Amino acid sequence: MSPIVTAILVASNLGLIFLLMTVPLGLRTVSSSRVITADRQRLWQTLWPLGSDAGWAGEILSAQPLDGQSEARIMLSWEGRDGKPIERRARFEDIVEGSRFAMRVIEDTALDASFWKDYRETTELVSEGNGTRVTLSRTDRYRGVAFLVFRYFAMRRELSKLQRWAVTGQYRKGGWFEHPLSQVGFAALSALILWPFFGLHLGGLALASILTSVVALHELGHMAAFRLMGHRKARMIFIPLLGGIAIGGRPYNSRFEVAFVALMGAGFSAFLVPIAIAASTFAGAEGHRLAAVLLATLAGFVALFNIANLVPVWKFDGGQVLRQICPGPIALALASFFLLSAFLAVGWQAGFSSGFLLATGAVFSILSLLTMGSGVKPRYELKPIRTVDRFAMAGALLAVFAIHGCGVLWAASQLI
């Protein structure tokens, strides 16, 4: 890619990350409304957390009043870090029996109380024709549009599923967004978006497809780590242009778990690098030049993508690992400087210009600043990591970095 195209791609990604995760939006309310073909009192018993049909979606396992009907302890079907259902203490306001209520979360067993400080949800029911208009609203303070958009579509999905339940009496889990076929479609869309950056020809499409496959393999590594850490389920969400996200079935329980899951994205792909190098070498020796070039490109993309994810950016895998294994801010700063320097040294050895490498370092610094502090604080501190596990994870990090670094250098010698 030309420097101009590279700059456009980098600027686009930085802008999207800032818009999705960082831009301050202040206190916002999102609402969704739909007419449900059911009696208003029946829907009240469904949506009111203390109602007789409050477990219609399987989300609420039980609800116990604590102070008349103004407060309740609600047990949810979502797993906490210990594998047990999350418990939530909620306060109800503006209650109009059969028509309206608002709810605030005082505390729950998963997230710190600061997460719920500005949160308020409102449910309104108004009879309309042969049905009932249900309006759901969520008020919160947002940084970035990602969570705001997520809540809007979550409310739309809830109303759609409520309509189906009202008609059939059955609740169907999941939806089209997380369906495997939808994710394959998002991956294909991601490849098509990347295609113009590599050139609108078959070679460019092949490169875009290889890069998309590399992203998928990286996320598969995270998913495998989630399962090894005891998560009952794990899934992958593709985000066109930005890449993918692996999601576990419960919150993290320990610092070792965070470090292990973060490192396994690059660690899983590290096994592919020597295989791709050996296959490329064999294909070249047999005279299959095109296959050798494609396999070398695969090795280079796998190595470069994964070593870039090990750079100590706040939300990147490398930053996640270092924050768990470094015992203090000084050790974290020194380790981050060392890892970033090693990454830039690999790039210099691979033949990248000093100007490009300086720009890359600046971009990673900006990314770290944009994503710093964007995580959600848990209710209780994660279990500490043992000293032996610190050294084990540090050794694994260096080994994975070395494998991908060698892969970058080898691919550069073959392709540049």
Strands in 60-65's sheet, in edge-to-edge order, are 24-36, 131-143, 120-128, 100-108, 85-96, 71-79, 60-65
Q: How far apart are CA 16 and CA 242, in angstroms?
A: 8
Q: How do residues 304-328 score in pLDDT, each as one tens digit?
A: 999 999 988 877 899 999 999 998 8
To the nearest 10°, report the CA torsion of 163, 168, 170, 173. -50
DSSP β-bridge partners for residue 275: none
pTM of the complete model: 0.85
Q: How far apart are CA 204 and CA 335, in angstroms?
A: 37
Q: How far apart are CA 67 and CA 64, in angstroms?
A: 10
Q: What is the pLDDT of residue 61?
A: 93
What angle separates helix 329-350 from helix 354-371, to the nearest 10 degrees? 150
Q: What is the pLDDT of residue 404?
A: 97
Q: What is the pLDDT of residue 82?
A: 83
Q: How far is CA 210 from CA 184, 191, 236, 263, 290, in A?
A: 14, 9, 18, 22, 14
Q: What is the pLDDT of residue 152?
A: 93
Q: Do residues 375 and 362 touch, judged by C-beta distance below 8 A? A: no
pLDDT 10s digit of each residue in the chain, 416 long? 555 666 666 677 677 777 877 888 899 999 999 999 999 999 999 999 999 999 999 899 999 998 777 899 999 998 888 888 999 999 999 999 999 999 999 999 988 888 899 999 999 999 998 899 999 999 999 988 888 998 999 999 999 999 999 988 888 887 777 777 888 888 888 889 888 878 888 888 999 999 999 999 999 999 999 999 999 889 888 877 767 889 898 999 999 999 999 999 999 999 999 999 999 999 999 989 999 999 999 999 999 999 999 988 877 899 999 999 998 889 998 998 899 899 999 999 998 878 777 777 777 777 777 666 666 788 888 999 999 999 999 999 999 999 999 999 999 999 87
Judged by DSSP in three states, 88 sits in: strand
Q: How far apart are CA 374 and CA 319, in angstroms?
A: 13
Domains in the chain: ranges and CATH: 3-21+179-415 (no CATH), 26-168 (3.30.530.20)
Report, in angstroms and rounded to the nearest whole number, the Rg of the chain calculated over CA atoms: 25
Q: What is the pLDDT of residue 9?
A: 67
- Which residues are CB-contacts of 196 (< 8 A; sequence separation ≥ 6)? 204
Q: What is the pLDDT of residue 361?
A: 77
Q: What is the pLDDT of residue 2?
A: 54
Q: How do residues 49-66 score in pLDDT, each as one tens digit?
A: 999 999 999 899 999 998
* Number of CB atoms found within 10 A of residue 325's CB: 25
What angle separates helix 255-270 from helix 317-325, to the nearest 10 degrees? 140
